[in-house]
Structure 1
Amino acid sequence: MIFRQLFDQTSGTYSYLLASRAGGEALIIDPVLEKVDRYLTLMRELDLRLVKAVDTHLHADHITGLGALRDHTQCITVMGEQTKADVVSMRLSDGDKLTVEGLSLDVIYTPGHTDDSYSFVLPDRVFTGDTLLIRGTGRTDFQNGDPRQQYDSIFGRLLRLPERTLVYPAHDYKGDTVSTIGEEKAHNPRLQVKSVEEYVELMNNLKLANPKMMDVAVPANMTIGLHQEEVARQGWSVGVTEALVFAGNPEVAFIDLREHAERERYGIIPGSLHVPYPALKDHIAEGGMLHDLARRKGKQLLFYCAYGERSAMAVQAAQDAALRLARHLEGGIAAWTSAGGPIER
């Protein structure tokens, strides 16, 4: 496995780049906007293709690199389903898998620092965001934080992992880079409590100043979405009302860009073809299935995803490949379902 721990000194943020092999797909966890050029250079040097950019939670101390990485690489942006961010390509839930080629991370909902905090687990390591830090825990006094929830997340979920599990947090301010679950159980001063009430009392009396960038970072991190209005101005969008009329039309091919787990959980538009977004490039190239449908058979391609971000990027890519009959469903299957569109499970 290719693994890199990257550090932003200004905010004390750790970002993590993971891939199973050189020349393969990669994901990055908790990227920082100011370090995006560094990430892109590293991925070129390691011959990696960024497929997913992930935030463990809505950060308050730095501006996320999710949007910039998406704009540079057309990667999928990922957060938990509770996020207040306007649009992310994929929203995860407890028990899901976060996958790229050759890697699969277990998704654990670990609220407390914020109400949208998640941790991601590989067999030998866990990425804990700000929930569990090295010899500390994330503060719980803003963004719907809750010390009782954090206690449950830490003691009920994270500390039940094997003690040899490596702990990689989103922040450190003392120079530590990694710990283990066993070390934190034994030496983390905030975990030496005898009850949830004692932990709540401890966290409620930290009296910490707000992060310096909080007033800037939180609003910025809530508006990372790709502006589908620009795609609409090009005439490449279809509203849900029009899309409902297209359902069952043999001249229109609905193309589902989501992953298998999303399709299983939320259902599909009946009759749609499945082309996972990371595989799109091959399908729209000459000789690909979608290229053949649009150019040889004259079918209109109607892309859809969860909320419209992946499909907006897909329709741009299809138009760039001269597939002029490509459109996308504004708002994705979420809008379709809200409008009462038929769903097949």
Structure 2
Amino acid sequence: MHIGLLESQVRHLLCRIKGAVTFLSRRNSMFKQFIAGSCYSYVISSKEEALIIDPHISLLDEYGQYLRKNKLKLKFIIDTHTHADHFSLAAVFKKKSGAQVLMHEKAISEVADKRLKNGDQVSVGSSTLKVIYTPGHTDDAISLYGENRLFTGDVLLIGSVGRTDFQNGSPESMFDTLQNLKNLPGETVIFPGHDYHEKRSSTLAKQKEENPFLKETDKEVFARNMRAKVIPKPFNIDNIVRLNQRGEAAALEMISPKDALTLSGKDPQVKLLDVRSALEFSQVHIKDSINIPIDMLTAKINELSQSKQSFIVLCRTGNRSPMAADMLIQSGIHGVKVMQGGMLRWQKEGLSVIKGEGGISLERQVRLIAGSLVLAGILLSWLVHWAFIFIAVFVSCGLVFSGLTDNCLMGMLLMKLPYNKKLYKTKLGGGTCAMG
């Protein structure tokens, strides 16, 4: 077996092991993958210099700990495109570290210090990444290639591709991009910006065999099929894009769970605002926290504003809370802070919680119903009429949308069922939006 192919397969195997993986490459560089929900980001380092690709706002402490532990100086921050489904950490990291923010020359950004174009190279130590312009998902999208690794952002995903209706996206451009990427060596290891099956990497050769979007060779058919997929936009997309373009995340004050506990304990005017769904809240929550699901927040803005209180916003992982905090700030509420890492980090740090009756979690409900609908569609198409197969197709498209955007439409519908609307009856200031 060729030594290069063998080495790439070993790398691929290492990257599939559960948990973020760090390993040395043949150029004495290190690489680590970080995960926040369905969002993936990467730190590449060599000779005490580092760059970060697509940093997620909920992982500020994790990145910082990794850089300090390995005695690395952050040199570059690269956003592969203007994110529309979550907040980038680029502006925050730039403010804290002084690192340069790099984006494509077509990106509308007040944060970027340097503009990249196709063929440019970005180096830290002895490790170099080549910029490949990969429009389609958006018109400012790039991928980064080096040492047999391809970081594809939201363009080429594992078994799929990014949607093409964001920020001047184009099915035709996506097709051309995929044809271009297919020319890279088959042993190239692909590291996407998203995945919802917890698949952390793949090889280009495998994707050429299995990914239906890479297998399509007719540009007209590809574009027609892409346009036929009508998928709702992510929640609060306009505000997310605006915040990422202007770098307003740098203005969000982030605090740790322990600091949130201390601050809310000292000052009765500081409230913990939990923007998870009512079902999530009923299963586990923090004592005296207020629950207003993020999709109901707009209707409660005036009430929150009139309370004259300040809020520490939290969610499950730290993905929804910056969106909610931005909504509060835009409405004129002062003293808004975001709790890093959400409930998962709160519990990981051993802080006390109140556990409810539980029931079937929303995630399990989605899996159960989606699986049942797919199975029913297949069986009915076989036993009754072929058209029933579209039930399975429709559900599958919904799951793809959920993975790409981290917004589950089925979950949102299930939240509205009476069973899932049950809330805890708590004392004043806790559970519901009782402000006193």
**CA–CA separation in structure 2 for the residues paired with 1:194 and 1:161:** 17
Equivalent in the alignment of 2:421: none
* CA displacement at 1:49 relative to structure 2: 0.7
Contact 1:56 1:129 in 2 (8 A): yes
Name the counterpart of 2:82.
Answer: 58
How far apart, CA to CA, are the structure 2 residues paired with 1:202 and 1:46?
46
Equivalent residue, structure 2, for 1:184? 207
Name the amino acid aligned to 1:19. S
1:123 deviates by 2.8
Q: How far does residue 87 in structure 1 lie from its aligned partner after superposition? A: 3.7
**Does residue 1:6 correspond to 2:34, yes or no?**
yes
Shift of 1:198: 1.1
Give the match for residue 238 of structure 2: 215
User: Aligned partners of 2:150 and 2:236: how far apart in 1?
Assistant: 27
In structure 1, C-alpha distance between the alignment counterparts of 2:53 and 2:111, rounded to whole Å: 17
The alignment status of 1:81 with 2:105, answered yes or no, reads: yes
Counting only pairs closer than 5 Å after superposition, residues 272-287 of structure 1 correspond to structure 2 as none
Are the aligned partners of 2:243 and 2:249 in contact in 1 as well (CA < 8 Å)?
A: no
Q: Could you tell me which of 203, 217, 226 is aligned with 1:203?
A: 226
Q: CA RMSD in A?
A: 1.5
Matches within 5 A, 1:54-203: 54-155=78-179, 157-203=180-226
User: Distance between the aligned counterparts of 1:127 and 1:142, measured in 2?
Assistant: 20
Distance in 1 (alpha carbons) for counterparts of 2:249 and 2:165: 30
Q: Amino acid of the residue matched to residue 45 of structure 1?
A: K
Q: C-alpha separation between the residues in 2 aligned to 1:122 and 1:225?
A: 31
Distance in 2 between residues matched to 1:38 and 1:205, nearest whole Å: 40
Tell me whether 131-140 or 38-47 shows the greater mean CA deviation.
Answer: 38-47
Q: Percent identity?
A: 37
DSSP 3-state at the match of 1:63: coil
Query: Does the C-alpha gap of structure 1 residues 226 and 38 become closer, same or farther in structure 2, counting only changes over 3 Å?
Result: closer
TM superposition score normalised by structure 1: 0.62
More helix by share: 2
Runs of 5+ in structure 1 lacking a partner?
228-345
Task: For residue 194 of structure 1, report the CA deviation from its aligned partner.
Answer: 3.1
Matches of 2:108 and 2:196, distance apart in 1:
27
Q: Is the 8 A contact 2:117 2:133 kept in 1?
A: yes
Partner of 1:310: none
The aligned amino acid for 1:133 is: L
SS of residue paired to 1:99 = strand
Moved over 3 A (4+): none
Matched to 1:48, the amino acid is: L
Report if the CA contact (8 A) 1:133-1:171 is conserved: yes
Q: Do the aligned residues in 1 keep the contact of 2:44 with 2:50 (CA within 8 Å)?
A: yes
CA 1:225–1:96 in structure 2 vs 1: closer, same or farther (change >3 Å)?
Answer: farther
CA distance in 1, matches of 2:30, 2:191: 15
Q: Does 1:17 align with 2:43?
A: yes
CA distance in 2, matches of 1:47, 1:60: 32
Q: SS of 2:182's equivalent?
A: helix
Write the letter of the residue equivalent to 1:219: R
Question: 2-side partners of 1:27 and 1:110: how far apart?
Answer: 20
> 1:78, CA displacement in angstroms?
0.7
Equivalence map 1:193-272=2 (5 Å): 193-224=216-247
Instruction: Work out the CA distance in 1 between the residues paired with 2:148 and 2:32.
Output: 15
Cα drift, residue 191 of structure 1: 2.2
Structure 1 pair 2–121 and aligned structure 2 pair: CA distance change class (3 A)? same
The Cα of 1:213 is off from its aligned counterpart by 4.2
Partners of 2:94 and 2:61 in 1: CA distance: 13
**Aligned residue in 2 for 1:273:** none
**Whole-Å separation in 2 of the counterparts to 1:163 and 1:129:** 19
CA distance in 1, matches of 2:58, 2:249: 19
Aligned partners of 2:249 and 2:240: how far apart in 1? Answer: 18
